[in-house]
């Protein structure tokens, strides 16, 4: 009876020891696997943080570029308006110059005709008058 009890006890102990060995090995492998996953997750978090900071930097660059573009568009619009104003002023000055040249030409012709004994013709007077009125309309514009 004692031998049999001894064998049963030994079998129980050896089974228990095997069970603990197996549990220990399994839990150690599981722990190592968990540690690897934790390490991978930490690396993933670091990569995501790095990507987020890169995205933030790129968003800032896009915002800055957008502001520059808006400023440049406003500047182009302002310069275009200035160019248009200068063109209009240039046209006015050209017409004034033509009017002045026309008046000089008429005065010279008038002097020539007076010297020749001829008077001013009505068509030249009307032409001079119309060029002045066009000039006045442009200036009043």
Q: DSSP states of 64-119 as a string?
A: HHHHHHHHHHHHHHHHHHHHHHHHHHHHHHHHHHHHHHHHHHHHHHHHHHHHHTPP
Query: Which of 99, 87, 104 minimizes the C-alpha distance to 137?
Result: 99
Q: What is the mean pLDDT of residues 88-111?
A: 80
* pLDDT greater than 80 at residue 41: yes
Average the pLDDT over each of 26-40, 81-95, 97-111 and give the range with the smallest value. 97-111
120: which DSSP letter? P
Looking at residue 141, what is its pLDDT?
Answer: 47
User: What is the domain count for the chain?
Assistant: 1
Continuous segment of H or E residues that includes residue 28: helix 2-116
Do 124 and 106 contact (CB within 8 A), yes or no? yes
Average pLDDT value for residue range 20-31: 70
């Amino acid at each position: 009876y004692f031998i049999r009890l001894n064998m049963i006890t030994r079998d129980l102990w050896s089974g228990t020891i095997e069970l603990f060995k197996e549990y220990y090995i399994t839990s150690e492998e599981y722990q190592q696997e968990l540690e690897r996953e934790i390490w991978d997750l930490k690396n993933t978090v670091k990569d995501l943080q790095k990507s987020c900071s890169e995205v933030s930097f790129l968003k800032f660059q896009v915002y800055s570029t957008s502001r520059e573009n808006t400023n440049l568009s406003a500047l182009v619009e302002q310069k275009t308006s200035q160019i248009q104003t200068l063109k209009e002023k240039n046209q006015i000055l050209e017409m004034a110059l033509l009017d002045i040249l026309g008046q000089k030409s008429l005065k010279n012709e008038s002097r020539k005709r007076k010297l020749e004994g001829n008077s001013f013709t009505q068509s030249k007077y009307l032409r001079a008058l119309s060029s002045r009125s066009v000039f006045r309309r442009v200036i009043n514009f």
